[in-house]
Amino acid sequence: MEGFLKELGSIIHTRDATALRVKSADFSWFSPIMSAALGNRQAEVILSPKSEEEVVRIAAACAKHRVPLVARGGGTGNFGQAVPLAGGAVIEMTGLDRIVFDKGNVTRAQAGIRIANLDTHLRKSGRELRMHPSTKKLATLGGFIGGGHAGIGTVNWGILRDRGNLLGLRVITIEETPRALELRGDDVNLVHHAYGVNGIVTEAELPLAPAYEWLDTIVVFDDFGRAAEFGMALTTSDGILKKLVSVHAWPVPHYFVPLKPYLPMGKAAALLMIGAETREAFEALVKSFQGKVTLCVPQDNIYEYTWGHTTMHALRADRSLTHLVCIFPKVDTLGSIRRVHQKLGEEAFLHLEFKRFNGYMTAEGVPLFRYQGFEQITRLYRAFEAEGARIANVHTFLLQNGGMKDLDDKQIGFKRSVDPHLLMNPGKVAGLDDLPGGISGATLEAAQLPASGWAY
């Protein structure tokens, strides 16, 4: 490590104990299983480059001194993606925050830019990102690409990996003489959702969407089944502008304390972003479903109660809760939702994000439940899958077992070519043998939970 540090020269770095603790953690505490498996693993140094040239120097020094390396954006990943399992260095990317170009309906920015800063800049000239995670204020572009998959806007544009949502990536390899690669077309998905094991992303190029005036909206319903049906009807009403369709069974709305005046006790709620231009058409749809609009205002923060934020609000109120993540089937989507709610609704409080996914409309389900152990999670996984929902296992940090990415030979070959010494984020890809001591105990047990994953 000392030889490595000497080579860093003027690159900002720290070995302060608090910084090491804070910058080695993410939101994996959403899962009690993963928290236990990760323990208190920490990096030995935090590096804060300000330019791509400094990133290249770090990559070369890591390769030369065989120092493990974990890239970090905002640290909001909740699958343990940014937790260093083998010590070494964390490279904090937030210093690379420049917009590289901004032409018409395409923008290119450095990977460390906070997504909200990029989006705010774009909206000033009538454009916006096609989608962003609910963590957009903290999350970085590179972190969203490395660890995220979808978000607000996905109801229109699909998930990040769908063709056309990510145009190009610039990636620095971890070699004694690092290379800068430009990935385009399908190759962007070699690095997307790869938990930062495939090189350091320094720039990303994205297509844009028109920026409408979005209204933060809440509609309440007596019955969750009706709310879900409304969610699907709104999602498939192509003429109505929307950016977010998020439906919650009671008691989930009960955890959204600041929204309490708009969320009557016992009611199911739809949290939405609706385009002001089509408000009347939207209201007609609400009326036909006997819903009641309790909020409809031009602001931009309702998304911070949806997607991963739903779990965060619930866990803040009750740390005994955890969640699972599933995708409902293409055929009989609403039937599958109704059946799981009917059978398991008392134990697993359902929350839905309507989305385009792999070319069709469906909903992601993120039920919250009080954690009672492996047996319970196994039973819940099986019960959801028996009703046609496919589970992505959010209680493991092993990339293959998460079920949101296929690690085929091309992926593994690419990993070995950009990181021949297997230094990037060791321990996240099973079978590579890159973690001293190997993978064991709770990690293996969590990886074996019966989740079939999301087929693409």
Ligand X SMILES: Cc1cc2nc3c(=O)[nH]c(=O)nc-3n(C[C@H](O)[C@H](O)[C@H](O)COP(=O)(O)OP(=O)(O)OC[C@H]3O[C@@H](n4cnc5c(N)ncnc54)[C@H](O)[C@@H]3O)c2cc1C
Binding of ligand X by 253 (CB under 6 A): no
Q: What distance in Å separates the CA atoms of residue 99 and residue 120, rounded to the nearest whole number?
A: 12
x/- contact string, 330-359, with ligand X (CB under 6 A)?
------------------------------
Question: Closest distance between ligand X and the C-beta of residue 398, in Å?
Answer: 12
Q: Residue 440: exposed, middle, or buried by beta-carbon count in 10 A (0-12, 13-18, 19+)? A: exposed
Binding of ligand X by 201 (CB under 6 A): yes
Structure tokens at 48: 């804060």
Query: Which residue lies nearer to ligand X by CB, 74 or 403?
Result: 74
Q: Which residue is nearest to ligand X (CB)?
A: 143
Binding of ligand X by 426 (CB under 6 A): no
The Cβ of residue 454 has, within 10 Å, a number of other Cβ atoms equal to 21
Question: Closest distance between ligand X and the C-beta of residue 379, in Å?
Answer: 26
Instruction: Count Cα atoms within 13 angstroms, Cβ side, for 32.
Output: 14
Binding of ligand X by 305 (CB under 6 A): no
Binding of ligand X by 148 (CB under 6 A): yes
Question: Closest distance between ligand X and the C-beta of residue 444, in Å?
Answer: 20
Binding of ligand X by 89 (CB under 6 A): no
Is the dihedral angle over the CA atoms 247, 253, 259, 263 positive or is it negative?
positive
Cα–Cα distance list, 366 to 23, 163, 169, 306 (Å): 27, 25, 30, 10
Question: Closest distance between ligand X and the C-beta of residue 154, in Å?
Answer: 8
Q: Residue from 32, 87, 88, 151 that binds ligand X (CB under 6 A)?
A: 151
Binding of ligand X by 189 (CB under 6 A): no
Q: Residue from 43, 56, 67, 82 that binds ligand X (CB under 6 A)?
A: 82
Question: Closest distance between ligand X and the C-beta of residue 347, in Å?
Answer: 23
Q: Residue from 88, 142, 153, 231 that binds ligand X (CB under 6 A)?
A: 142
**Stretch of residues binding ligand X (CB under 6 A), selected from 68-76, 174-182, 293-301, 408-416:** 68-76
Binding of ligand X by 397 (CB under 6 A): no
Binding of ligand X by 309 (CB under 6 A): yes
Report 20-39 residues binding ligand X (CB under 6 A).
26-27
Binding of ligand X by 271 (CB under 6 A): no
Q: What distance in Å separates the CA atoms of residue 380 and residue 383, rounded to the nearest whole number?
A: 5
Q: CB of 282 within 8 A of CB of 291?
A: no
Binding of ligand X by 111 (CB under 6 A): yes
Question: Closest distance between ligand X and the C-beta of residue 284, in Å?
Answer: 29
Q: What distance in Å separates the CA atoms of residue 423 and residue 435, rounded to the nearest whole number?
A: 9
Question: Closest distance between ligand X and the C-beta of residue 229, in Å?
Answer: 24
Query: Which residue lies nearer to ligand X by CB, 304 or 387?
Result: 304
Structure tokens at 216: 């933060």
Binding of ligand X by 70 (CB under 6 A): yes
**Stretch of residues binding ligand X (CB under 6 A), selected from 31-39, 145-153, 216-224, 240-248:** 145-153
**Residue 186: closest CA among 17, 454, 447, 411:** 411
Binding of ligand X by 48 (CB under 6 A): no
Query: Which residue lies nearer to ligand X by CB, 119 or 387?
Result: 119
Cα–Cα distance list, 44 to 14, 23, 29, 197, 326 (Å): 9, 11, 21, 19, 36
Q: What distance in Å separates the CA atoms of residue 233 and residue 238, rounded to the nearest whole number?
A: 10
Q: Residue from 68, 87, 95, 143 that binds ligand X (CB under 6 A)?
A: 143
Binding of ligand X by 75 (CB under 6 A): yes
**Stretch of residues binding ligand X (CB under 6 A), selected from 179-187, 228-236, 303-311, 335-343:** 303-311
Question: Closest distance between ligand X and the C-beta of residue 205, in Å?
Answer: 14
Q: Residue from 140, 173, 246, 401 that binds ligand X (CB under 6 A)?
A: 140
Q: What distance in Å separates the CA atoms of residue 368 and residue 390, rounded to the nearest whole number?
A: 16
User: Which residues, listed in sequence order, are joined to residue 207 by a DSSP beta bridge?
Assistant: 106
Phi, psi at 394, each rounded to 5°: -95, 15
Question: Which amino acid would we find at residue 110?
Answer: Q
Query: Which residue lies nearer to ligand X by CB, 174 or 380?
Result: 174
Query: Which residue lies nearer to ligand X by CB, 171 or 389?
Result: 171
Interface residue list for ligand X (CB under 6 A):
26-27, 70-78, 81-82, 93, 111, 133-135, 139-140, 142-144, 146-151, 195-196, 200-201, 307-309, 312, 425
